Amino acid sequence: FFLAQAAYQLHSLCFHVVSMLLLLLYGGSSGGVGSWASRLIGLFRGDGSSYQPQQSSNNNPQTKSKRLISMKTSMQSYFRPMMEHVIVLALLIGAYLFSGLRRLGAVGIFTLELSSVFLQLLQVSIYAPENSWWRKPEVVLFVHRMLTVPTFVYCRLIVLPFVLLRSALFESQEWLEQIAKVFSPGWAEKLYTMFNGSLCLIFALNLVLFRRLLFHPHLKQIVKQKGQVSR
């Protein structure tokens, strides 16, 4: 179970690295390889956003400046999921090596994956074809407000800090003794700090994702479209 999850995190991390390389190489191109790379980048991205390359001439200095700003913004959107994959991968390896952490690791995997299911469902709804049932504003808003946001809040903003982090902070005497026996007493405190610090960092990254989830630009367009249709 832990090996399968670690393989998935490593697979997703490699996808993000490839996406960033494609963005650096072909981020502002139009047509040919650049167009193909832009479509591939949209498939690799994991936060529900898409990259739109500049279609203007590259000889204009103002166009080059806009292209660099667009590439910088697009690159920044990859850092959050990349950091999360790296941290989760490290936590999975630690939970696999030390049996005292496996229950916490299993609960953490379940809560994160449950939230990810509805995040992916929202992404499917947003990027469905225009004439699809999934693309209807009522369906997209229902998935967003009734499914994705509640599960995100419960799994990532309640269970993660108040169950997992609390247990790791105050109920971790067993695995600390195990680490001290395997390595040395000094290593136990260091790994304890790194483990809990990683959980705090994941919580902070989830706060960033939650802000984007609430103010997603595509959702704003869908709400605006729904208001125009109702008129």
* Cα 172 to Cα 98, 175, 195, 231, distances in angstroms: 12, 6, 11, 58
Please state, rounded to an integer, the average pLDDT across all residues of the chain: 76
Query: What's the average model confidence in pLDDT over 53-76?
Result: 49
Q: Is the pLDDT of residue 53 over 70?
A: no
Q: Is the pLDDT of residue 223 over 70?
A: yes
Query: Taking the complete model, does pTM exceed 0.75, yes or no?
Result: no
* Cα 34 to Cα 21, 27, 50, 205, 221, distances in angstroms: 12, 7, 15, 31, 27
How far apart CA 51 and CA 43 sit, in angstroms, is 10
Q: Is the pLDDT of residue 46 over 70?
A: no
CB distance 91 to 108 below 8 Å: yes
* Cα 209 to Cα 114, 117, 165, 212, distances in angstroms: 16, 15, 19, 5
Query: What's the average model confidence in pLDDT over 148-153?
Result: 96
Q: Which of 38-47, 49-58, 222-231 has the highest mean pLDDT?
A: 222-231
Provide the pLDDT confidence category of residue 34 given band limits of 50, 70 and 90.
very low
